[in-house]
Every structure is written in C-alpha cells, then in structure tokens.
C-alpha cells in the first residue's frame, strides 16, 4: 500500500474523528455538566460502542468484498460522495449548542454509537476508499477499523479533556477551522478517485 494512501487514510480518519459528532458533543456536554468523574461511565460506553461498531463495519466490508467483489469499487464512489458532502457540511456549519444529557450511563454512551450514522459511514468509507483496493483480508480490515476506533477514542478523550477550551475556541474561530478541514477533506476525495 503506497504511503500517500496511508497518509490520506490517516488525514481522513483524524478529521472525521475530531469534528463534532454525536459522541464528541455528548462527551463534551457531559464533562461540562457532570465533571469527569461522574461522566466516566458514559465515556466508557462511547468508547466500547465505537470499537464494536467498527468491528461490525469490518465484517460488513469483508462480506461484501468476498461475496460481491465489484461492490467495494462502487462503494468507493459512494464514500467519495460522502466525504464531499462532509467537506461541504463542515465548511458551511456553525457551532451549535448540545442538549443536556440527564444521566451519564455506560449504556447510553454505548447505545449512542449504534445509532451514530457518522461512525458507520466513517468506517465503511475509510475501508472502501483506501484499504480494500490493496487488501480485503478480514484481519487487515479489522486492523484498520481498530485504528479508526482508537483515533475516534483519542478524539473523544480530547473533547473531554479540553472541554470548554475547545468549545470556546471553536465558537470564536469556527469558520476558519471549518474551511481548513473542508479543504483537507477535498484533497482526500481527490486522492480517492484518481
């Protein structure tokens, strides 16, 4: 696998993981409302759910690659369209206020990931856009999904650890940050389709 493909895989993964999504927003909101200690069960649920969903994505992509070998090539274009949509959405988005979660439980964090469409699209797009062209082995797909889940966990930990600081900086400079992230994602689309 060429180095530029791995580089773009990591760029895509980091941008997707660090941008606001349901898990990051819920973690940020929980830490600012309950504190780190009281929010821990919810964070552990978010992390565990992330890994389980990414394993499901790897198994799905493996099954599709094995039984319908032409589908990953088609899914690459669907993934590129999703990244393009994500870039446009990021460039045009404005900060929002998250709703307050009434209870910080493991189950709520875990179940959130099963309805978090962003991480399904993230996992499937990353594999079909960057990995399956070079390997469709289940172990390779699982490895890259574990990397994605780890990057996602680090991103959520960053949102937790930096909480209010990230929120205030994002509130102030959201337009510049969003444009930079969007342009970087456009480069990922370009590299995926060439």
Burial 170-189 (b: 16+ CB within 10 A, else e): eeeeeeeebeebbebbeebb
Answer whether 0.85 is exceeded by the pTM: no
Asked whether residue 52 carries a pLDDT value surpassing 80, the answer given is yes
Distance CA 159, CA 30 (A): 10
Q: What digits encode the pLDDT tens for the residues 123-154?
A: 988 998 899 889 889 999 999 999 999 999 99
- Going from N- to C-terminal start, the domains of the chain cover 3-193
pLDDT band with cut points at 50, 70 and 90 for residue 100: very low
Mean pLDDT, residues 7-30 taken together: 84
Task: Looking at the chain, list the stretches that DSSP marks H as alpha helix, in order from N- to C-terminal side.
Answer: 3-18, 22-67, 71-92, 106-114, 117-126, 138-193
């Amino acid at each position: 696998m060429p180095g530029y493909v791995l580089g773009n895989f990591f760029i895509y993964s980091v941008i997707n993981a660090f941008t606001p999504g349901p898990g990051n927003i819920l973690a940020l909101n929980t830490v600012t409302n309950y504190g780190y200690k009281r929010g821990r069960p919810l964070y552990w649920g978010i992390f565990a759910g992330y890994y389980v969903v990414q394993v499901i994505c790897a198994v799905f992509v493996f099954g599709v690659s094995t039984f319908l070998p032409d589908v990953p090539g088609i899914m690459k274009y669907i993934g590129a369209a999703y990244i393009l949509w994500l870039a446009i959405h990021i460039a045009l988005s404005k900060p929002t206020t998250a709703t307050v979660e009434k209870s910080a439980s493991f189950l709520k964090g875990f179940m959130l990931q099963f309805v978090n469409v962003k991480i399904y699209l993230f996992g499937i797009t990353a594999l079909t856009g960057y990995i399956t062209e070079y390997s469709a082995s289940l172990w390779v797909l699982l490895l890259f999904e574990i990397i994605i889940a780890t990057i996602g966990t680090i991103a959520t930990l960053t949102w937790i650890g930096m909480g209010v600081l990230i929120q205030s900086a994002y509130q102030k400079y959201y337009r510049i940050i969003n444009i930079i992230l969007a342009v970087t994602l456009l480069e990922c689309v370009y590299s995926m389709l060439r």
